[in-house]
Structures are given as C-alpha cells and as structure tokens.
Structure 1
Amino acid sequence: MNAYTLLILAIISEVFGSSMLKATEGFKRFLPTFGVIIGYGLAFYALSLSLNTLPLGLAYAIWAGVGTALTAVVGIIVYKESVDMKKILGFLLIIGGVVLLNVGGGH
C-alpha cells in the first residue's frame, strides 16, 4: 500500500473515531467506545506506516487538517450542528493550507 493510501486510511479512521466520541456519552456506551478505540488505533497505525515514506510535518499537517475538516462536516451532517460563515471560512483555510503544503514541495 502506498504512503498516501495509508494516510487516507489514517484520516478516515481518525474521523470515524472522533465522530464516535460524542456517541459514547462519556464512555458509558460500549459499542461507540469500542468504535473510538478501533478508529484511533487504526488511525495511528496507518499514520505510522505512512511515515516510512512521507515527511512527518507534511503527513501530520494533512492528517490533522483534513481530519479536522471532515470531523466538522460529520458534526454538521450527523449531529445537526450549526454551520455559519466562520465555519465555511475555516474549511476553506484548512483546504488551502493542505494544498499549499503539497504544492510547496513538502517531500
């Protein structure tokens, strides 16, 4: 599996784990808690494998930025959280930052 595929797997797993946090109700519900553990475990494992090829700063910036934006989108869609111009601007800034890191020769 190539490094970017592993990074995508890490991002999706982290978004899943983060999204399950709210459903745990303070880790009182077993299945969502198990989802958090599996999500984060797979996320860190896949991220660590991607680092065999990708530079740490680039991989972590992409992982954290895209993961944050996607988790916010899950909050809006699944948990019916509000969306306003500040959130939209935040998404655009995250996407712009990730693009600049990739275009800027991060590896």
Structure 2
Amino acid sequence: MMIYYVALGIGILTGIGGQMLLKAGADAPDFMSQLFRPSTIMGLALYGSAAFLYIVALRKIPVSVAFPSVSLSYAIVAVLGHFLFGEPFGIKQIGGIALIVGGVVLINQA
C-alpha cells in the first residue's frame, strides 16, 4: 500500500514542478511564444507525469482520500509563488493554507 502513497506524493511534487515551470514560461511576449518555450513544454510534460502517477495511486487509494490530498499542491504552490515570483502572501493565504493542510490531515486519518 505504501507504494501507492509514494506514487501520490511524487505525483503531487511533479505537479508542483509543472506549475512552477508553466509560471516561469508565462513572461513570454505572446501566447505562441509561451507555448513553445522549453519551460512550458517541460511543465506540460511534468503535468502529464503527475497524472500518470495519480492514476497509479488511484489503484489502491480511495479517490475520497487521494483527490483532497492533491490540494496540498495548492498550498505549496502559493508558498513557492511568493518566494520564486514575488507573488503576494498575507494572512488570507496563510489562513487558506492552514485550512487546506488541516483538511488533508483529517481526511488521511485512519
């Protein structure tokens, strides 16, 4: 069973990496330039890998546990967005992240 949780965790981290790469490619002058930037292409590839790992995880983890667990990526992306891209991060974001993390902890209780 542990291998499925490992797949879920790696899938979450891979999705986060994909999101960061997509953001890095977003400073292109137009959409077509953005679409063909190496960071955008790699970001999309990581998203595809994340989806594959999620499928593996769903073989044994109930979707009612796996899908809410993926929401941890929202919290991590918000923090990384602040540190890597200077995006705003205040009390509202901290409160939202606390709620997300608390929810994931509750859902994953045995």
Uncovered stretches (5+) of structure 1, i.e. residues with no partner = none
Residue aligning to 2:17: 16
Residue aligning to 1:3: 4
Offset at 1:28? 4.3
What is the rounded CA distance, in whole Å, between the counterparts of 2:35 and 2:105 in structure 1? 39
What is the rounded CA distance, in whole Å, between the counterparts of 2:24 and 2:102 in structure 1? 31
TM-score, normalisation: structure 2: 0.86
Residue aligning to 2:103: 97
Offset at 1:11? 0.3
Q: Percent identity?
A: 30
Which structure has more helix as a fraction of its residues? 2
Residue aligning to 1:34: 41
Alignment: residue pair count: 103
Q: SS of 1:59's equivalent?
A: helix
Offset at 1:85? 0.6
Moved more, 19-28 or 46-55: 19-28
Q: SS of 1:54's equivalent?
A: coil
Kept after mapping to 1: 8 A contact 2:79/2:89? no
TM-score, normalisation: structure 1: 0.89
| AA in 2 matched with 1:71 | V
Moved more, 21-30 or 77-86: 21-30
Structure 1: which 4+ aligned runs deviate by more than 3 Å? Answer: none
| AA in 1 matched with 2:59 | N
